[in-house]
Amino acid sequence: MGTNSQSAIVQTEDDARAPAACIVSVKGLKENWQKWSSEHQEYQKHNPFSHDTRQSTAVHERGRDDYGKPLQGSLTERRGKDAHTHISREVLELCEAIRSIGEPREKAGAGSGSNEKVITVEFGKLFEHYVSISNKLVGILLRARKQRLVDFEGEMLWQGKDDHVVITLLQ
């Protein structure tokens, strides 16, 4: 019984000062909150999904250079640039794979005296080789065709059905 009643909490001078250092002023909290609130209100003016009924300062008009593009310097713009860089790298990697496994042939439509050669590969052979590199071969092929780096017949290539479709490396 004597141990509980006799034990006293001894507070040193250092312990007494410690909580005072952790106290944050109400004025500082209020200023931080007000700053965040003002920034958020300004952001909401530009947010098309906001229920803010005030007139937006950023008017989106068709035909302008920035129409349909993210705000300059935004995280969305950064992500888009990173994605574009990544896809470009994959397209170049695909072209290198075609170069390495493809066979040189005379360019279709070239005259008999022409020595123009292009590298071609069948889709099935490319698919078997490229499956260990990436699982997005058809999408990358479509992107490369859009950039006029490769050419093939048809809108879409299907494994098995289009294995004999010839893919031509143009550049």
Query: 158 and 105: one domain?
Result: yes
pTM above 0.85, yes or no: no
User: What pLDDT digit, counting tens, does each position of 87-104 carry?
Assistant: 999 999 999 999 999 888
Residue 132 domain flag = yes
pLDDT of residue 87: 93
Query: 157 and 105: one domain?
Result: yes
Residue 4 domain flag = no
Query: 38 and 99: one domain?
Result: no
Query: 101 and 154: one domain?
Result: yes
Residue 77 domain flag = no
Residue 49 domain flag = yes
Residue 144 domain flag = yes
Residue 139 domain flag = yes
What domain count does the chain have?
2
User: What pLDDT digit, counting tens, does each position of 109-150 carry?
Assistant: 655 555 678 899 998 898 888 877 777 888 999 999 999 999
Instruction: Determine the structural domain holding residue 37 and report its residue range.
Output: 25-57
Query: 107 and 157: one domain?
Result: yes
Residue 86 domain flag = no
User: What pLDDT digit, counting tens, does each position of 18-48 carry?
Assistant: 555 556 788 888 899 999 999 988 888 877 7
In this structure, what CATH number is given to the domain that contains residue 159?
Answer: 1.10.10.1540
Residue 116 domain flag = yes
Q: Which two tokens stand for residue 22?
A: 């952790």
